[in-house]
Chains A and B, each alone.
Chain A
Amino acid sequence: DIQMTQSPSSLSASMGDRVTLTCRASLNIRTSLNWYQQKPGKPPKLLIFAASSLQSGVPSRFSGSGSGTDFSLTIGGLQPDDFGTYYCQQTYSTPTFGQGTRLEIK
């Protein structure tokens, strides 16, 4: 299976900050990379698909980039609702998720 490694594992930031989360794949996955946000006890919510496409209804402060093995999710101008855990997922082969980045709002 393709391993997905996210960094950092946790992050604390202030409202209005710009933050970048990263995800690295163990093999070249082209742009088969998706990002989800999850809040406790809730299902994940799709934010970005195919590395850089914004899911309908997701605020434009979320953006994704990357291809091959290195990817990033940037949140420009943190809002209180942005707390939660962010997961990357590859679907180039058998789907796998990263271990998550927990984002705390200061």
Chain B
Amino acid sequence: QFHLVQSGAEVKKPGASVKVSCKASGYTFTDHYIHWVRQAPGQGLEWMGWINPNGGFDYAQKFQGRVSMTRDTSITTAYMELSRLTSDDTALYFCARGAERLLLVGNWFDAWGQGTLVTVTS
């Protein structure tokens, strides 16, 4: 069975950056996109972007210029870094696996990390 395990909770000051990791196991890391989704307290799900472990990425327009998604294939880990944090970035951040091999349109997310709580407070 495949798993995504994320790094632990973070507390950051406004203006700082945060980097969240997502360790994949149980499948061929380079066969599936990793997506990042966040959820503010009491709110719905918001897609942030994807990274292709073979190279390439795309970000939601809202986060362009402020988010960076990277990966280290040697340790099957994806990363999401968000900069210039404000209190509005306080949220639970999830990584998720695109189910179908290297597919974007029409795909679905069949595995999720446990979530990483990022709290932005002065």
Taking the closest CB of chain A, its distance from the CB of B102, in whole angstroms, is 14
In this assembly, does B53 line the interface, its C-beta being within 8 Å of a C-beta of chain A? no
CB-CB under 8 A from B60, the residues of chain A are 94
0/1 string, A66-106, CB within 8 A of B gives 1: 00000000000000000000010101111111111000000
Instruction: Tell whether, in the assembled complex, residue A43 and residue B47 are in contact, meaning their CB atoms are under 8 Å apart.
Output: no
Instruction: Tell whether, in the assembled complex, residue A44 and residue B105 are in contact, meaning their CB atoms are under 8 Å apart.
Output: no
Instruction: Choose among A1, A34, A97 the residue that contacts B108 (Cβ–Cβ < 8 A).
Output: A34
Query: Which A residue sits closest to B39, measured CB to CB?
Result: A38
CB-CB under 8 A from B72, the residues of chain A are none
Q: In whole angstroms, how far apart are the Cα atoms of A94 and B49 in the complex?
A: 9
Instruction: Tell whether, in the assembled complex, residue B108 and residue A87 are in contact, meaning their CB atoms are under 8 Å apart.
Output: no
Instruction: Choose among A49, A50, A87 the residue that contacts B45 (Cβ–Cβ < 8 A).
Output: A87
Instruction: Choose among A1, A36, A41, A95 the residue that contacts B35 (Cβ–Cβ < 8 A).
Output: A95
In this assembly, does B44 line the interface, its C-beta being within 8 Å of a C-beta of chain A? yes
Q: In whole angstroms, how far apart are the Cα atoms of A96 and B109 in the complex?
A: 12
CB-CB under 8 A from A31, the residues of chain B are 106
0/1 string, B46-79, CB within 8 A of A gives 1: 1100000000001011000000000000000000
| B100-120 with Cβ < 8 A to chain A | 104-110, 112-115
Q: A43-B115, A46-B110 are in contact. Are A97 and B47 (CB under 8 A)?
A: yes
Instruction: Tell whether, in the assembled complex, residue B44 and residue A98 are in contact, meaning their CB atoms are under 8 Å apart.
Output: yes
In this assembly, does A32 line the interface, its C-beta being within 8 Å of a C-beta of chain B? yes
Instruction: Tell whether, in the assembled complex, residue B45 and residue A32 are in contact, meaning their CB atoms are under 8 Å apart.
Output: no
In this assembly, does B29 line the interface, its C-beta being within 8 Å of a C-beta of chain A? no
Instruction: Choose among B35, B58, B99, B105 the residue that contacts A49 (Cβ–Cβ < 8 A).
Output: B99
Query: Which B residue sits closest to A45, measured CB to CB?
Result: B112
Instruction: Choose among B44, B46, B104 the residue that contacts A91 (Cβ–Cβ < 8 A).
Output: B104
The interface of chain A, by Cβ under 8 A from chain B, is 1, 30-32, 34, 36, 38, 41-46, 49-50, 55, 87, 89, 91-100
6 closest A-B pairs by beta carbon, nearest first, are A43-B112, A49-B108, A97-B45, A34-B108, A95-B47, A32-B106
Identify 9 residue pairs between A and B in the complex whose beta-carbon atoms are under 8 Å apart, listed by A's number. A43-B112, A45-B112, A46-B99, A55-B110, A87-B44, A92-B106, A95-B47, A97-B44, A97-B46
